[in-house]
Structure 1
Amino acid sequence: MKKIIYALLLPLVVVSGLVFANREIKNEAAKKSTASPRSDAERKASLKKWESTPDAIRYEKWKVSPEGKKVYAGEAKIRKHINAFTDMTATVTALSLPAGSRLGFGVMVRINDEDYILSFGAQLSEKNSLNAINQSRQLHTLKVNDKIKIRSHSVSHAPKYLYPIISGDYIERDGKIIYKRAAGKGGC
């Protein structure tokens, strides 16, 4: 009888030891992977290193090119609306993004005689909630020449695109909300 009890307890002790050891290894790995904030000198050094790369050189050339200046001017025109998160009246000019775009779902819009990419990102199609599905359907009902009101927290640019990129946070058509980005979880 004692032999049976020892035979049952021995595997239990071995498995418990392995589980405990595995937990310790994971805790150590998690502590090592947590990066401390970089110092100002480290940030400046990495920026200096990046500035000498071919991508950085192409970016700097783009910034001073006529295309880059046009994109920056377009951003400047809507900057006060972005900062204040106020309404911008826009007209839908195209239902697809420029060829080769990797911004997810979006449309082209015109605000104050300037063209913009209005991007909703890839996350719109990835959500499973009924609200996201309904919003996606409503966005797909947009037509060329529709008048919409946009509110956004950010506008960006990339040398690949000839237009500033507005992140669609809130879209309204005919006084009805057709899209409202869900607030990020655990963010600020």
Structure 2
Amino acid sequence: MKKIIYALILALVVVSGLVFANCEIKNETTKKLLSADEKKTELKKWEATPDGIKVKKWKMSPKGKKVLIDAAKISKHITAFTDLEAVITCLSLPPGSLLGYGVMARINGEDYILTFEPEESQLKQLNSLKVNDKIILKSQSVSYAPKYSYPIVSVDYVQRGSKVIYKRAPRKGGC
């Protein structure tokens, strides 16, 4: 009797594994990569939407141009993943911000929003930052949004003095 039950359970596990694997394969094949021409077409469609028009107007405004210029100033360091010296100017983000945990910092004379994805163990060290602290940071991305008057730097690494106080954890389950 036990052998029959074990055989049925094993068969159930194998069949459910195959069904689950088949679902994943179907999901992967439905995702289609767009060619360069298709990407351009989709971008043109989006630019014609109210949100696209709003972003275009923002990019042409003095505020938008300043943010884009400031983002370009550090792009060399971002692409090379090299050290950037920063001074903490504010321990909170602008009012109404939806960026999660972050601070304001001055890099090369310009203000930036620094955002983090800290684990609980890193919060204590990040909370120890004070205004006018000098830090060294590394990042692989800088972005911007019409809602904010500053470029947004997603921080991967922070060092204060000779001590590392933050290092982004690798993403789980993917690239």
- Normalising by structure 1, what TM-score? 0.78
Q: Give the counterpart of 2:78 among 79, 82, 100.
A: 82
SS of aligned partner of 2:69: helix
Counterpart residue type for residue 24 of structure 2: A
Gaps of 5+ in 1: none
Which has the greater radius of gyration? Answer: 1
The answer to whether 1:170 aligns with 2:157 is yes
The alignment covers a number of residue pairs equal to 171
Give distance in 2, aligned partners of 1:36 and 1:54.
26
Q: Pairwise mapping of residues 1-188 of structure 1 onto structure 2 (< 5 A)?
A: 26-34=20-28, 35-121=31-117, 124=118, 127=119, 132-133=120-121, 135-185=122-172, 187-188=174-175
Q: Sequence identity of aligned pairs in percent?
A: 54
- Please give the alpha-carbon distance, in whole angstroms, between the structure 2 residues aligned to 1:97 and 1:90: 16
Residue 154 of structure 1, CA deviation: 1.1
Equivalent-residue separation in structure 2 for 1:175 and 1:76 (angstroms): 28
Q: Which amino acid aligns with 1:52?
A: A
Shift of 1:44: 2.8
Q: What is the deviation of 1:36?
A: 3.0
Distance 1:25-1:113 versus aligned 2 partners, 3 A rule: same
Rounded to whole Å, the distance in 1 between the matches of 2:51 and 2:93 is 24
Q: What is the deviation of 1:41? A: 3.6
Measured in 2, the distance between the counterparts of 1:19 and 1:182 equals 34
Q: Distance in 2 between matches of 1:17 and 1:153?
A: 47
Q: Tell me the C-alpha RMSD between the 2 structures.
A: 2.6
Please, which runs of 5 or more residues in structure 2 have no aligned partner?
A: none
Q: CA deviation at 1:27?
A: 4.5
Q: Deviations over 1:121-155 (max 9, x none)?
A: 3xx2xx4xxxx51x211100111111111111111
